[in-house]
Amino acid sequence: MGLDFGSKTVGVAVSDSLGITAQGVETITRKSGKKLRQTLARIEALIEEYQVEKIVLGLPKNMNNTLGARADETAAFQEMLERRTGLEVILWDERLTTMESERILMSGGVRREHRKERIDWMAAALILQSYMDSHPVPDR
DSSP-derived 3-state class of residue 117: helix
CATH number at residue 22: 3.30.420.140
Cα 110–Cα 114–Cα 119 angle in degrees, nearest 5: 85
Count of the separate structural domains present in the chain: 1
Is 97 part of a structural domain of the chain? yes
Find the mean pLDDT for residues 24-44. Answer: 89
Is 140 part of a structural domain of the chain? no
Mean pLDDT of the chain: 88
Cα 30 vs. chain centroid, distance in angstroms?
A: 15
Full domain range(s) for residue 51: 2-66+75-134
Is 83 part of a structural domain of the chain? yes
Query: How do residues 90-128 score in pLDDT, each as one tens digit?
Result: 999 887 777 777 787 778 887 877 777 787 888 999 999
Is 139 part of a structural domain of the chain? no
Residue 15 pLDDT:
95
Is 58 part of a structural domain of the chain? yes
Is 128 part of a structural domain of the chain? yes
Q: What is each CA distance from 96 to 26, 28, 30, 72, 104, in whole angstroms? A: 20, 21, 23, 18, 12
Q: Are 49 and 55 in contact (CB under 8 A)?
A: no
Q: What is the pTM of this model?
A: 0.88
Residue 7 pLDDT:
87
